[in-house]
Amino acid sequence: MTKAYSMDLRRRIVRFVEAGHSRRSAAAHFEVSAAFVVRLVAAFRTSGNYAPKPEGGWRYSKLDPQRDFLLRRVSDKPDITMPELASELAAIGLRIDPASLSRWFRRNGYRYKKNAAGIRTRSPGRSCRPRAMDYAPPTAARARRSPADFRR
């Protein structure tokens, strides 16, 4: 991952441009890209700040504010499909892909129900109605099995 330029370098670049030099000459002088200097000076002139923007962090999900609605719909109709949920969300003005819904449910600890043997309740060759959702709290890290645990 890249690292932000130092505050000292940013300060010197802004002072160089404010002293009357062009942005491209500043880029050549300090051996940085012209695009960086253009964006830095533009940000400084609009906000008066040349500090780098924060990197990383938690990404916001459009589905988090709809958590109560989604959990209520799954509890009301356990065999609801992701496309059905996506169409219901579209009716209230939120356009979401069914695959995004599936990832959101998995990230929040919901999965397809399985029977005691760990096999899905219907055979894969037989068409059936959609499977129900069940809650399984998310775990921080799954325990790994050592090679000695496996049988030959």
If pLDDT is split at 50, 70 and 90, which confidence band does 2 have? confident
Is residue 128 one of the residues assigned to a domain? Answer: yes
Both 87 and 113 in one domain: the answer is yes
Distance of CA 13 to the CA centre of its chain: 34
Which residues are paired to 133 by β-bridges?
Answer: 112
99-148 confidence digits (pLDDT tens): 999 899 888 888 765 555 555 555 555 555 555 666 666 665 444 555 55
Q: How many CB atoms lie within 10 A of CB 119?
A: 10
d(CA 24, CA 21): 8
d(CA 75, CA 92): 19
Q: Is the full-model pTM beyond 0.85?
A: no
Is residue 146 one of the residues assigned to a domain? Answer: no
Which of 54, 43, 40 is CA-nearest to residue 10? 40
Q: Which residue has the higher pLDDT, 115 or 13?
A: 13
Both 68 and 11 in one domain: the answer is no
Is residue 80 one of the residues assigned to a domain? Answer: yes
Is residue 81 one of the residues assigned to a domain? Answer: yes
Both 22 and 74 in one domain: the answer is no
What percent of the chain lies above the pLDDT cut of 90? 41
Give helix 82-91 / helix 98-107 axis angle, nearest 10°: 110
Domain of residue 85: give its range. Answer: 64-135
If pLDDT is split at 50, 70 and 90, which confidence band does 150 have? very low
d(CA 112, CA 134): 6
Q: What is the mean pLDDT of the chain?
A: 81
Is residue 143 one of the residues assigned to a domain? Answer: no
What are the angstrom distances between the C-alpha of 148 and each of 44, 141, 143, 152?
A: 60, 20, 14, 10
Both 130 and 68 in one domain: the answer is yes
Is residue 140 one of the residues assigned to a domain? Answer: no
Which helix (H) or strand (E) segment holds residue 112: the answer is strand 110-112
DSSP state of 135: E
Both 80 and 37 in one domain: the answer is no
What percent of the chain lies above the pLDDT cut of 70? 72
Is residue 35 one of the residues assigned to a domain? Answer: yes
Both 71 and 12 in one domain: the answer is no
Both 42 and 76 in one domain: the answer is no
Both 27 and 89 in one domain: the answer is no
Structurally, how many domains does the chain consist of? 2
Both 92 and 31 in one domain: the answer is no
73-104 confidence digits (pLDDT tens): 988 888 888 999 999 999 989 999 999 998 99
Extract the tokens encoding 94.
């939120």
Both 69 and 27 in one domain: the answer is no
Is residue 107 one of the residues assigned to a domain? Answer: yes
